[in-house]
Amino acid sequence: MKRMAFCVLVLAIVLGIGAPLAAAAPEATSQNPTAQIQWQQPWYYRWQPFPVWPGWGYVPWPGTGLQYQLSYSQQENQLVLTVVNPTDKRITVTMPTGQKVDFVLWRDGQIVWRASAGKVYTQIVTQESFQPYEAKVYKETLPWLPSGLYFAQAYYLGETQWSPVASTYVWLQAYSHDPLQYSVDYLGPSSFNPTPRLRVTIKNTSGRDITLPYQYGYQVLVKKAGSNNYLPNVGIGQSIGTIANGAARYVFLNLKGLEPGLYQADVRSNVSNASQYSVVAQTWFYVW
């Protein structure tokens, strides 16, 4: 009897009966670029070639004397670190390896992209000099990432690798070639209009008239901050018509009846990609 039970157990293991299945890695395809980005960011990229943390960071004192500014070029989809020598003396800094800079993007406390991920640097000490009042620029092109707000860090290894020398928030658009420009503002109650509203501005700077897809185009959706679901009775779900070249369309969304709390408003568009909506503008507002 024991022998028979042992044979059944071996057979079950071979056939996989009752055994938990291992989760398959997300397949990277052009139709699912998000899965590709997630699969290309293993957990250890946060620790190599040196550890990074999701904070603003600081420049050590007294430090090298260099000053730093981090910005985002939407046209080129690049993070840009400007390093300046503001003094009338030459400044020479030392890097422990051939790596000079690093850029990191975070979202919701998780690292989603790192410039140095998967790269190999020469393991020799290098130096870099800045003449009086000289500025040097370091750029890194970002990959495809879902639209949204990201926290960006820039590291300059000649200063320190223990904290970023500059940080900022950047808004990324999945489809930067959208022919329309969007912005959204919250208008609180006033003596002229006691009802809180959202004002969406849509400008056509493409050089041609834009006809919105039938019953699609752009959406204005609202949800409670931190929620995954939009409110069913608040928002604009479709749009039609033509926006002439150089013209602007203003859309007002009534927010009457919302419970007190913090809310998030998303403007989504499929003008540049009819098969998929992308968030093109976003704001947060508080209802008292």
Residue 223's CATH number? 2.60.40.10
Residues 70 and 140 in one domain: yes
Q: Residue 228: what pLDDT? A: 83
Count up the domains in the chain and report the number: 2
CA 74 to chain centre: 12
Residue 57's CATH number? 2.60.40.2360
Q: How far apart are CA 175 and CA 147, in angstroms?
A: 8
End-to-end CA distance of the chain: 73
Q: Residue 163: what pLDDT? A: 93
Residues 91 and 214 in one domain: no
Q: Residue 173: what pLDDT? A: 66
* 20 within domain boundaries: no
Residues 184 and 89 in one domain: no
Which regions of the chain are under pLDDT 50?
1-40, 176
Q: Residue 41: what pLDDT? A: 60
Q: How far apart are CA 55 and CA 241, in angstroms?
A: 45
Residues 186 and 263 in one domain: yes
The pLDDT tens digits of the residues spanning 71-98 come to 888 767 889 999 999 999 999 999 999 9
Q: Do 261 and 224 form a contact (C-beta atoms < 8 A)?
A: yes
* 26 within domain boundaries: no
Q: Residue 250: what pLDDT? A: 93
What is the pTM (predicted TM-score) of this model?
0.52
Residues 45 and 102 in one domain: yes
- Pick the last residue of a domain from 172, 197, 223: 172
Q: Residue 18: what pLDDT? A: 33
Q: Residue 214: what pLDDT? A: 64
Structural domain that includes position 262: 180-287
- Pick the last residue of a domain from 118, 149, 172: 172
Q: Residue 174: what pLDDT? A: 56
Q: How far apart are CA 105 and CA 119, in angstroms?
A: 17
Amino acid identity, position 142: L
Q: Do 269 and 277 form a contact (C-beta atoms < 8 A)?
A: yes
Q: For residue 47, give both structure tokens.
A: 């620790």
Q: Residue 61: what pLDDT? A: 86
- Pick the last residue of a domain from 172, 199, 234: 172
